[in-house]
Amino acid sequence: MQVDLPIEIPRVLIAALRGGSGKTILSIGIIAALCNAGKKVVPFKKGPDYIDAGWLAMAAGRSCYNLDTFMADDRLVCRSFLSHASQTDNTRNDIAVIEGNRGLYDGLDVDGSTSTASLSRLLNTPVILCLDCTKSTRTMAAVVLGCLHFEPDIQIKGVILNRIAGPRHENILRTSIEQHCGVPVIGAVPKLKSHDFPERHMGLIPTPEHSWAKSSISAAAEVVGKYVDLTEVSRIAKTAENKPFSCSVDLNDELLLDASSDQKDVQIVSVDQPVIPKIAVIRDSAFQFYYPDNLEALAAAGAQLVYISPLTDTTLPKIDGLYIGGGFPETHAKELAENIKFRNEIKAAAEGGLPIYAECGGLMYLGKSLVLDQTYPMAGVLPVEFGFSKKPQGHGYTIATVDVKNPFYEIGTVLKGHEFHYSKVLEWHGKDQDMIFDMQKGRGIINKRDGVCYKNVFATYTHIHALGMPEWAETLVRLAKAFRLKTED
């Protein structure tokens, strides 16, 4: 049955004119400040970004879910938002805060496909526009007016001025925007003297890499509490309360996600499941890029998840499968190389048929070596050597078609994902036939190919989202069950 559901939870989307405008720091501060005020805040990140989502999660004290209409269709994105924004553990959430990406209207084409604006329209959510006001005054009113008229159905309900030079600068901006645009200015944040959120090549640095992450979030909350009207933020969010999504939701669809499963060690096992495979997830400051949806999908498919680390563990536990996500192995190359026993056990497990699925940083770890200031040996499972570049070697959404037989994906399967890496292939000692993806969009590993397959090992630069590829989790769990049964014989 298709119905238009009124979505009870207040919700707001923080957007900007471009990347680098400060919307992530403002989103972090807004979420943390609302939490400090006793509100139950549900964070979301528009698009495929892992790092911003990690900061938003830490600010809210709960998982942040990515909403991406390229990797999953509109209906599934609506279901994801609905399941996670609704009440949790019989407690009603107070507000959902979504951080956009890039500019409000930036998308894949001239129609703005997959833009932040399109997500606002899909979820019927009002927008607060963050403006970088550096070296500009009245012109910003013209910019806001253009945004209001560019797609008139987008609900721009408030403006936050960022990087204000002083009271006179703020007054001209505030008066110009409110007089010419009729949109309230709900905050004016000055240029910050200290850099509480240092940046690296992929936006904000990952939270697990620094012990001062929590103090940085506290600083952002303090700034927002001082310069942004949180009462107005809540009022704008409430304007969306009880408004339906723009797409219909099928109530007979089984929810892919369990809204109450918000713990790190997710374990959801059916009572009639005779085989419960144990799948290890390498999760630490070197490998930290995981969508919560992916981990929950593995658990929902019947796996028990355990978390391990080649930075702290010396041996590989008894497991039936392994998932290695992305991250920054290059910043931990020395430690990874020095854990020789762990590397050797990974290689032995791969040779023994252990199902292993690796993405980006995981792909690098499974290679022969990583060449930086010197050559660091990696696990040596795959015949490839990696180097590092100062510029992105792959950046953006990907479309791949499976054209080689393999244990993970049927031939003809089309995958939509994304890649973002600075690593590059220095030496590839395999054959193109060892890679199962033909890249229609994106760079892949080499020669427009991606997805190295060896025995039950699969490694790729392409990150996938379980909402858009539900068969991924089912397949990995099935292979882990088969491995479990084989090793028990």
Catalytic residues: 360
Alpha-carbon span 339 to 330, nearest angstrom: 15
Alpha-carbon span 249 to 227, nearest angstrom: 38
Alpha-carbon torsion (374, 378, 384, 386), positive or negative: negative
CA distances from 56 to 64, 217, 400, 432 (A): 6, 9, 30, 40
Alpha-carbon span 58 to 32, nearest angstrom: 9
**Residue where the block lists tokens 């060896």:** 454
Backbone angles phi, psi at 129, to 5 degrees: -95, 120
Alpha-carbon span 469 to 68, nearest angstrom: 13
At 197, list the tokens.
Answer: 């959120």
> Within 10 A of 91 (CB to CB), how many other CB atoms are there?
8
**Residue where the block lists tokens 């990150």:** 463
Backbone angles phi, psi at 340, to 5 degrees: -65, -40
